[in-house]
Structure 1
Amino acid sequence: MQFSRPHWIKEYFSFTKKERNATLLLAAAALLFSLLPSLFPFLVKDEIELTIDTAVQHKLAALQTIPADKSNADAGLYQPKESQFEKYRRQKNNAELFFFDPNKATAEEWKRLGVREKTIATILKYRSKGGRFYKPEDLKKIYGLRPDDVERLIPFVTLETTGKPENVFDNSTAANSSTTERKEFSKAVVEINSSDTADWKQLRGIGSGYAKRIVNFRNKLGGFISVEQVAETYGLPDSVFQQIKPQLKNNSAKVRKISINYSTVEELKAHPYIGFSVASAIVQYRKEHGNFSSVSDLQKIGAIDDKLYQKISPYLSAE
């Protein structure tokens, strides 16, 4: 018995003469392009001749060379001028912090502290006319001294208690009281998890600004696990932390914990150690695999490496 081929098969699987020719042409082109990289070395000349314009080359060399006898004014044509903002930022980054007496500090010492040259000139002029600093906050009166510099420098101001006019202190008892506070100030011991801003300000080098930052950072964390975490406070110089570290203690390891099974992305990312990407990864993993049986399950998430896990695990709970 012979079966005839259906008409639609012939229609879709038969080629006309033109179609066959086109198919062969495409196959030949594909073969040619596949062999082209191998044939390229035979098609290109071994040596390429380049024409060099020597006149242009000499001009370029002249532009790249700065004459040694140029004045400072001419040198400015060859390099971009540093903006005042960049200059201030560079000086601030190179600033040192050390205890100083604003009534005796030299211009070089002010410069080391990161104060601008114009402001240094203002301070020296103020002192030359009989002006004096009677308390650290008097730095705020100096025209041109930036507020962030004032906050940074006030904790390091040391002033002699002698020779101050009567209108600054009511009587000698006030001066003696100040001396007594200084002695207590240097011996203060602060419990890092229960102290308020007033307690922190008893430490040498800690003013109102730093005290508020430390307490705010502690509240956002949910408590300090160790004394070393105080050093992570934004803007707190390491020199200040190293100075107050012997006076810090941690009597409480209890911290406020965040539930990884019920917290939202917003709640998780509010923690200083957990950013948006990690918070999103935690919530997404929870949606796909269900609730976490323990905090250690976080190690299964690619966005959390071992170092980060050790840092955030004390602040998390799977309850």
Structure 2
Amino acid sequence: MIRKSDYQKMAFMVMLLTILLAYQKYTSREREPFPEVKFVLNTSPSARISDFDPNTLNGAQWQELGFSEKQVSTILKYKDIVGGIFTSKEQLKKCYAISDEKFSELEHFILLPETMKKVSFSSGVSEKKAITISRKFNPDHSSKADWVQMGFSEKQADAILKYKNYLGGSFLSKEKFRECFIISSENYNRLESYLLLPLKAPENSKNKVNIRYYTFDPNQMDVNGWRSLGFSEKQAMTIVNYRDRNLHGSFKSLEEIQKCFVISAEKFEELKPYMKLQPVSTINGEMRQEKTDFSTADLNTLTFKQLLEFGLDEKSAGSIIGFRKKLGGFVNKQQILDTYNIDKELVQKLISIAQLDTSGVPKYSLTDAPEEWLKNHPYFKYSADKIIFYRITYPDDRKIWKYLKLKPEYETRMKLYIP
């Protein structure tokens, strides 16, 4: 049997052992290691990018580099404009959507040469010639060979002659000649004193440029309509007053139009194939339009009043007239059904009855189309800048279509107005 004193000794030993263990643990304890140091990395785009080829990046990847959606759109458009591929850092830097600061940030990662390498062809290309002129000359009379002899390349000579044709066959003035995109300011300064041209184009020459005739009813033409045919404002007002005052509001025959003194015999002959008079009748001494025979009517010359006569409301009639004017005329009847804000059921009935004469609708190749026409035509205006750029380097419609990379439906629609 264990005595009380033995319990006390045992308790004392346990206490002593506990104290020794605690002391040993305290004296032998090592310092805890410092927590691992983690550095906060720079989260800017330049900290995350690696070497890249800008020709392979899509919109999302450009945005990952820190550009806004609008900037990316501009960069991709610029890429298309320069031919669909960036050839050097120098070229990429010229994109105004990329600031100098941003370009410096990306420059070392861009997998492109610093500058575009000059390509030498096996046939041998002569170095750029200086423009040389020995006498005064009229550029209207210069041939392709003459321009080449001055120092322009054959492509540049072709472009100069095309620009002259675009102006109507004459440069008209030094001012117009200077606007030729292929002639640099430096070259113009060399040529200027030798040009046998007036400083500015004569006022009466403005209406002779780029006139495109179309089928029209002289009784429906206002002042602006006659001006679009090449007449001055004063001449147009004279024609309208002659019709409305002298002839009581209507030409009854082409001979009456020919008698208007501001329409020369030469101009009348030019307009004659395009003039179509709708028949009129006199009721109580007042000129009235006869009821329209829509089976023989032309959808490209129907007037606002005739569309109302058919049963269309003013909104539908106005939309058709407005869209037709922007297009320069309809080429197929489906276009009329594509017009906004019309009564399609009634218009379907109209186009099933009426005729469509497309002979007066202006059509151009991509290389020859006037810039103003491209920028205003509903089918071409969104691609106008690209067309104008590409045709400088590639004066070939097939190549321009290739570089435009349009959706098939857009290309099909545009080709309605290509001869």
- With normalisation by structure 2, the TM-score equals 0.28
- With normalisation by structure 1, the TM-score equals 0.35
Q: Which has the larger radius of gyration?
A: 2
Is the helix fraction higher in 1 or 2? 1
